[in-house]
Amino acid sequence: MAVARPGGTPAVKPSPLGESLISIDRVGKTYANGTIALEDISFDVRDGEFVSLVGPSGCGKSTLLRMVAGLGPITSGTMLVEGLSPKAARQEKADTAFVFQDANLMPWRTVMGNVELPLELRGMEKIARRAQAAEALSMVGLGDVQKSYPRELSGGMRMRVSLARALAAHPRLLLMDEPFGALDEITRQRLNGELLRLCALANWTCVFVTHNVFEAVYLSTRILVMSARPGRIIAEVAVPLPHPRVPEIRTDPEFTRIVREVVSLLGSATDAHEED
Ligand code: ADP
């Protein structure tokens, strides 16, 4: 699938049969208090894919994403990230970035100070990390606010800083938990376009959690629909829309058809839960 690259050179997305970055096989998660959050989850994410997870609130999407990031143990099944356990991948590869709904910026640090923080924690020397952070900030259109503090920025700008922080670390895998959920619709759509542009530039593989079906269809190569808790994958919907995804694609009949399909699957997931 062709994607836009700087300079207009068309690039080819890796084939769907490319290397598996994430392999999840019959994974379950039961919390210490007995809550069964996830049951029998199996899927792979391949290099260059953009996979969205959608499902009713409380179905375990964040739990799943955090486990992929190595931030919590699975309780059954197997999960591999770049061939390692998620925790080992986090420690040894260190090429996964996590973006949350809240931009999670340090209020006492400038924009530059926030973006260079992960590089600082890795021990990168100042000149190199400043250059890498400045490059990331200019890629998200914030090259001129490096010395500002988070409180001086709009919600959309703060989220751009959060994206720049992820970008600066040059990750291979980007995990995003409703990163644009708190933004107004226009800002969300603008940042959706920005995110796709950055994905093509940086060749990220993404797993994205959202409640917004339009957003999932616009961004993804594949959507996994989850049932109500305990979360399971009840359907997988391919999104064969062409890249680059121009904003007008949202009015394309194929876009509308996929949105309807996902909405209908979500409706059946919720109905099944209410009949329990
Ligand atoms: P989602 O992201 O889909 O809204 P979550 O992954 O946040 O769902 O939560 C899934 C379920 O697990 C919910 O019922 C939630 O209350 C429960 N849960 C989440 N974190 C914990 C925890 N640390 N301890 C116990 N239960 C939890």
Q: What is the pLDDT along the chain (276 residues), one digit of tens a residue?
A: 333 333 333 333 444 446 899 999 999 999 999 999 999 999 999 999 999 999 999 999 999 999 999 999 999 999 999 999 999 998 888 788 888 888 889 999 999 999 999 899 889 999 999 999 998 898 888 989 999 999 999 998 998 899 899 888 888 899 999 988 888 888 888 889 988 988 888 888 999 999 899 999 999 999 999 999 999 999 999 999 998 899 999 999 999 999 999 999 998 877 655 544
Nearest CA to ligand 1 atom 7: 62
Q: CA 85, CA 8: separation in Å to the nearest integer?
A: 38
Substitution site in 59, 62, 63 for ligand 1 pocket (most atoms within 8 Å of beta carbon): 63
User: Which protein residue's CA is at the shortest distance from atom 19 of ligand 1?
Assistant: 63
**Minimum CA distance residue for ligand 1 atom 14:** 58
User: Considering the domain 1-95+172-276, what is its CATH architecture?
Assistant: 3-Layer(aba) Sandwich (3.40)
- Identify which of 147, 142, 153, 139 has the alpha carbon closest to the alpha carbon of residue 103: 153
CA of 60 to the centre of ligand 1 (A): 6
Q: Can you give the pLDDT at residue 170? A: 84
Q: From CA 1, how far away is CA 12, in angstroms rounded? A: 6
Which residue out of 27, 35, 227 has the highest number of ligand 1 atoms within 8 Å of its CB and is therefore the one to mutate? 35
Q: What is the pLDDT of residue 187?
A: 83
Pocket of ligand 1 (CB under 6 A): 31, 33, 35, 37, 55, 57-63, 229
* Distance (Å, whole) CA 51 – CA 40: 18
* The pLDDT value given to residue 274: 54
Nearest residue to 104 via CA among 33, 62, 187, 163: 163
Q: Which atom of ligand 1 sits closest to the CA of residue 33?
A: 25
Query: CATH 3.40.50.300 region(s) of the chain?
Result: 1-95+172-276
CA 269 to ligand 1 center in whole angstroms: 17
- Per-residue pLDDT at 273: 55
What does the pLDDT read at residue 169? Answer: 85
- The residues that bridge with 207 in the sheet, in sequence order, are 51, 175
Sign of CA dihedral 70, 76, 80, 85: positive
